[in-house]
Amino acid sequence: MAPLADQKSRAEELFRQPWSREVLVDEDGAYLARVPELPGCFADGDSLEEALANLDVVLRGWLTISLERGDPIPAPRRIADSFSGRFSVRVPRSLHEALSRRAEDEDCSLNQLVTVLLAEAVRSPHLPDTASSPDSTDVSEGIAADAVRSGSQAIAALKGIGTLLRDRGDVNLACVIYAMAASLVATVERAEVAAREFGMAASLARREKRNRLAEALLRESVQRDPTNLRSSSTLGQLLYWQGRYPEATVYLSRASSIDSYARLFLGWSYLLEGINLSDELQKREGLNNLDNALREWCYQKGDRASRASWLRQVQRLAKLGGRYVDEARHLVEFANANANWGPIDPAVVTSPEGDDDVSPAPEELHNSPL
Amino acid sequence: MAERDVDHARKLVAEIRRNRRSQSPEDLARAASALGFAIDRSRSKDSYVWAIRSPGPKFPIPTTKNPVRVGTVTSILRILEEVLTDGSLG
C-alpha cells in the first residue's frame, strides 16, 4: 500500500480532475448533487451551493476510500466524452428561482424546462425571420419520445412542448397540447386535478383572446369537476361578454357566494337579461347582486387604484335611468363612508369626471382588484 | 449470508422503500450493515458515515440531517436494492 501522504496527494490530484457534476431537485425541493461517473458519490443540501460544497467533501472521501482499497476509479466523463450531454452552470440565484417557479407552473422538471429553453435559444439566432413559422423550431427528440409514452413522463413532456409552442406564438396549438396533457392527467390523477389543468390551458386561450377555444377548455374543466369554481366563474364571465346572459348566470351563480367578480357579473347578467325580457324578478335579483358586489368592492378594496373602475360600474348602472340612478347615488354615499379613496361627488354618477366614455372596458374590469 | 439474514435485510430495505421521508441515518446504516456493508465512522468530521462493501459499492450517509433528505434516501435505496438483487448475498 502507498504511504498515507502519497495517497492524500494522489486523491487531491484526482479530485482536481474535471468530474461531471449533476444537480437534481428532489421531491421536497432539496438539492441532490452527484458525480455521475462515480457510483455512490452524491450529497445533498438545501441550496445548490450547499449541495455542491457537500459533494466536494464526499468526492474527496470517495476517491480516498477507493485509493485505500485499490478500487478501480473511472475516468472523468469530460475526458472520455467531451459532449456527454451533462454540464453544470452557475446562474444567479434570482434566475434559478425564476426557472424553478416556471418549471413548477408547467409541472415539469427544471431539467426539462431548461432543455426546452436552451433548444429554443440555440435555434432562434439562426432563424430570426422565421421564428414564428410552424416549422422553424422542433422539440428535442428526447422530449418528443417522452411525449408519446404513457404516464407522468408524457404529461411533463407535453407541457414542455405546449410551452415551446406558446412561446413561439402558436397559442391554439399550445392549448391543444396542454389539453392533451390534461386528458392524460385524468388517467393518473383525480378529476379535480385534470379540471385544473384544463382551466390553466383556458387561461392562456383567454389571455390571448381565443374565446371559442377558451370556452371549450373551460367547459371541459367544469364538466370534469363541477366544484371547480374558478373555471365556473371564468366561463360565466366569458359568456357574459358575449351577451349570453342566461348561460352565464348558470356558471356565475355557482361561484358567486365566494367570488366577488362572479357576483358582479352575475348581477349584470340578471339585470341586463331582466331588462331584455322586462322581467321584474330578474332585474331585482340582478340589482341585488350588483349592489352587494359593488359595496364589497369599495369596502374591501377601496384603494385609489380601483376608484375609477368602480365608478364606471356605478355610472353604467346610473345610465340605465330611473331607479337605477338613485341606486347609484346610494352606492356613492356608501363608498364615501367606507372606501379609502377619498370622497366622490354624487353628481358624477350622471356626469362623468372628465370622461365622456362611461362604458366599462372588459379588460379594466378583469384587472380591477375586486 | 444466511437465509435469515437476507430476509432481515430485505425487510429493512422494504421499510426504507415504504417510508422514504422518515429515515434516520441510523436506519440507513442498519440496513446497509444487514446487507454486508461496513460502516466507517472515522471520516468527514462527523458529517457523514461511509457504508463500504468489499467487494462492491460504497456510499455516504449524511448524519447532519434527521430524517435524511428524500433524494438521498432514494439514491441509497437504489444501491441497497441493487445489492439485494445481484445475487451476491448468498
Question: pLDDT (tens digit, 9 = 90+) per residue, A320-346?
Answer: 888 899 999 999 999 999 888 888 888
Average pLDDT over residues B33-51: 88
Q: Give the three cell numbers for residue A85.
A: 450531454
Q: Is residue B89 over pLDDT 60?
A: no
Cα dist. A105→A151, A154, B24 in Å?
Answer: 19, 16, 32
pLDDT band at B10 (very low <50, low <70, confident <90, very high): very high
pLDDT band at A64 (very low <50, low <70, confident <90, very high): very high
pTM of the model: 0.48
Residue B48: its chain A contacts at CB < 8 A? Answer: 57-58, 61
Q: Is residue A125 over pLDDT 60?
A: no
Q: What is the pLDDT of residue A345?
A: 87
d(CA A209, CA A55): 49
Report the run of H or E that residue A279 belongs to, with start and end.
Answer: none
Cα dist. A60→A77, A80, A150, A357 in Å?
Answer: 17, 21, 41, 73
> Inter-chain contact B71–A64, Cβ cutoff 8 Å?
no
Q: Is residue A82 over pLDDT 60?
A: no
Q: What is the pLDDT of residue A42?
A: 96
* Facing B48 at nearest CB: one of A61, A64, A71: A61
Residue B79: its chain A contacts at CB < 8 A? Answer: 39-40
Are A236 and A266 within 8 A, CB to CB?
yes
Query: Which of the residue ranges A16-30, A213-227, A313-327 would you say has the lowest mean pLDDT?
Result: A16-30
Closest residue of chain A to B55, computed from CA coordinates:
A71
Q: Is residue A13 over pLDDT 70?
A: yes
Q: Is residue A156 over pLDDT 70?
A: yes
Q: Pick the residue with more confidence: A101 or A68?
A: A68
pLDDT band at B1 (very low <50, low <70, confident <90, very high): low
Most confident segment among A98-102, A131-135, B3-7: A98-102
Q: What is the pLDDT of residue A115?
A: 80
- Whether chain B has a CB inside 8 Å of the CB on A356: the answer is no
Which of A:31-50 have CB within 8 Å of B? 31-32, 34, 39-44
**Angle, alpha carbons B82-B86-B89 (nearest 5°):** 105
pLDDT band at A78 (very low <50, low <70, confident <90, very high): low
- Whether chain B has a CB inside 8 Å of the CB on A29: the answer is no
* Facing A28 at nearest CB: one of B40, B60, B69: B69
| Cis before A125? omega within 30 | no
Most confident segment among A77-81, A189-193, A297-301, B78-82: B78-82
Average pLDDT over residues A192-216: 91
Cα dist. A68→A1, A72, A313, B65 in Å?
Answer: 8, 11, 80, 28
Q: Is residue A200 over pLDDT 70?
A: yes
Residue A28: its chain B contacts at CB < 8 A? Answer: 21, 69-71
Residue A64: its chain B contacts at CB < 8 A? Answer: 43
Q: What is the pLDDT of residue A123?
A: 56
d(CA B63, CA A128): 53
